Amino acid sequence: MKINKLIASVTAAASTAAMAGYTAMTAFAEEAEKTTNAANAQQPSAGSLLTMPLMLLVMFVLLYFVAIRPQKKRDRELKEMQQSLQVGDEVVTGGGIVGIVVSVGEDTVVIETGGAKHKLRIKNWAITENVSAAERLKEAKAAGKTSSTVEAAAVVDDDDKKSKKKKNDEE
């Protein structure tokens, strides 16, 4: 019995709340309809119709030059740095691991970390900074050499040094 009375009172309260909500929504809809009819009575001018798309276009162009283009440039420079890694470079990974490049593979790099000379194989995309290249770039700028960042950060090919040493040793 008590459960039936409880269910009946909850149902009555819910239906009363629903009716009040419906009444409020209907009143709001009638109010909105009156304002839209008044707004439709005044036709917008042709100038205001052209201004909105023009402003949207200006905003998209501004967004491109402020946000999208600089990010693409940073991504391209990061990709170039990751592709130009060489043995002996000191690198920092995205997780904060600092190490020296021991070998470079197709899509992985082996780095040596710590005093115990632990070796880790990581993916190229995980490398976020080439400390050696950044130092070489600073030295090049201090010396007054002006070149592109990739050329200034590049290391002389180790194979060329080895072949020159062999030639000198043979002579």
Q: Tell me which DSSP letter residue 36 carries.
A: H
pLDDT digits (tens, 9 = 90+) for 49-63: 788 889 999 999 999
pLDDT along the chain (171 residues), means of 10: 59 58 58 59 66 91 94 94 92 94 94 91 94 82 64 44 48 46
pLDDT for 1 equals 55
Euclidean distance between CA atoms 140 and 131, whole angstroms: 14
pLDDT for 68 equals 94
Closest CA to 77 of 20, 148, 136, 25: 148
Q: Enter the tokens of residue 156.
A: 């002389």
pLDDT for 159 equals 46
| pTM of the full structure | 0.52
SS3 breakdown of the chain: % helix, strand, coil, rounded to 5? 65, 15, 20
3-state secondary structure at position 88: coil
